[in-house]
Structure 1
Amino acid sequence: MRTEICERLGIEFPLFAFTHCRDVAAAVSNAGGLGVLGAVGFSAEELEVELAWLDAHVHGVYGVDLVIPSKYEGQGMDGLTPQELEAELAQLVPQGHRDFAEKLLTEHGVPQLPDGEHHSELLGWTATTAAPQLAAILRHPKAKLVANALGTPPPDVVAQVQDSGRLIGALCGSVKHALNHKAAGLDFVVCQGTEGGGHCGEVSSLVLWPQVVDAVGEVPVLAAGGIANGRQVAAALAMGAQGAWTGSLWLTVEEANVPPAQMRTYLDATSHDTVRSRSWTGKPCRMLRNEWTDAWERADTPDPLPMPLQMMVALDGVKRGHRYPEAAKDVNFNPVGQVVGLLNRVERSAEVVARLVEEYVAACDRLGKLNG
């Protein structure tokens, strides 16, 4: 099960866990995989705190995931500070969109955030706001891997990461995107099928993985989209991937920073309950379908705005939903893949890593017997 990318990172298993929870990232890294902390949603100062905590609690190494879209509103506004860029973009958000979002939250009884609890509407989501996050990452030697969630990273980002001795890669949902990553000299490609949670394309994992592996040649491919057990890991490696990139799987572990009401929503969901929607981030993103996603799809309601403007509309709902999950259960942001239908019990993160390895070995043994 040990692949080339394991050797380069010094990890035991090619199991990568994307998560917004530092406890999960640390637990997976300490169990032999690689925890990857999602940076979007953290200011640079907050990310510094998270990474310092990981440095103190991870025995080996970990990764960090940035969000620098290849196309977004405000692209090219060079020279602006993050605060200036946010102010410029805020002027592009129609008041009607803000009013519609507030109406949805109010109708469902989701309370306002406490007075004085200010939060930026633009955390990550642009090259300008990601730059301070990257600077924080480069101050932490244990952060050995950087991934970009949306498109090929800018050349200066690639150079900074590689010059520091780290690996940099990016997610893709098509062969075209994978070839762009290869041409940019990235160290690995995360190939995510449409089943995957969060931002995804339209092609299924089983079809996409081997196409991307063949297209990028020697560039290591990490398979993503619908992986929750060792049999699926074995299938990914059999198709030429060098590892499994997992995300939804870590929403239902014991260490996850997921409120109980939201956790129950995930545990009760089936694979038929997800939808690709632009209603939260402005780009197609797979999540649980609910009254928020349905409302933005109706013909008589506003169309979702491009990234990052739609998230500037929706971020208040994200914050209020996290603080008041019981009230927001029908309008909460629940990014998750179709694999949610397999997530029906709570496990500890280390137990999940061990289970994936055991199931992988069993699957390989079964194939070995079939092959005589």
Structure 2
Amino acid sequence: MAGKVITRLGACESGLRVLFTGSLLEELQRVMKESDVIRYRVYEVLVNLQAISPVALHYCSDSGLLTQLTGELSGADVLVQVNCIDMLSSLAQSPHGLNWLVQQGVVGKLESMLTAADSDPMSSFYMPGVLKFFGTMASLRPDETMEHHGAFMKTVFESLDSRDPTMVKVAIETVGMVGSRPDGKMALEKQGCAWADCLKQLGRIILNPPTEMRMYGLTTLASLFSLQVTDHTEDQLSMLEGWFNTFSPKPMDTLMSIVQQPFKNLHCAGLAVLQALANQPWAQRAMANFPGFVEYLVDRSTEKDKMGKEARYEVIKALVESSTTLETFGSPFYLKLKEYYQQGPFYVRVQAEVAMEGSN
């Protein structure tokens, strides 16, 4: 409750002045000494506060409390470091927050931790957080991050094949985060052979247990293949088609084998990949040419639960809203798609029963 009050107070400059001068600031400094938990609660409030505006960041910085947060990186307690890095990742989500971290030398410090991880026996504790931080940074500034912090993507690619499931999970999610926007996709493409190997590894991950890791892999593929129509340039579309043909020798077979499985979470995650692909002409051609795809897509009887019905409907919706679907699939199938779309995800056809009176 106190955190919400402080955040509201910091919504305007006059409130910021009240908060970071005199007795209120002294009270914050006092309670932070009571325990690690309270100290990090205050840090969390500060991080939320600075995200409001560059002006809010200025007041948070001048208070000295954000500098105190970055100082936690140099502490001897690795768990305190882990919490600190998590807070710094949140701070980096705003462009002005990331600029401040660069100016304070925090990004350089985190990269040093990244490159020295092999010689630090405690690195397994903080490495997931460090990768998450650079993933956040790369989602905002992909080219700059990959050009100036080469160790980051190298570590991500290597971690996809790690024996530590936590590192594999973080690496998969980081790839999806970086590749969620067009500029991030282009930056990944520039990684050359290392990126091609990464795509192939994702293809292996989505086919092999454990199920949880397969889910992460499919979610990342959906992020990588997602492209708004306004971003449909020849380069982007050609690049994603190349990725599609790289992640699996038979990509449509791979995806259809997943969406036709009875396991709800995997099934829906596979449909999310098809949804991401559905507005791209080259992907529509791949779908149209796959034996049985069109029949499968409009067959409502194969979906038994709410989650599956909604996931299937999103694929239908993406195809109906695409300007190239009619040309690619032809009028008969397009009309079936449109009917499905208009009827909604939960439509059930009523079977008319006619009672025939016996002639005894």
Q: Would you call these one fold, judging by a TM-score over 0.5?
A: no
TM-score normalised over the length of structure 2: 0.24
Structure whose residues are more often strand by fraction: 1
- Structure exhibiting the larger radius of gyration computed from Cα positions: 2
Higher relative contact order (CA 8 A, sep 6+): 1
The structure whose residues are more often helix, as a share, is: 2
TM-score, normalised via structure 1 length: 0.24
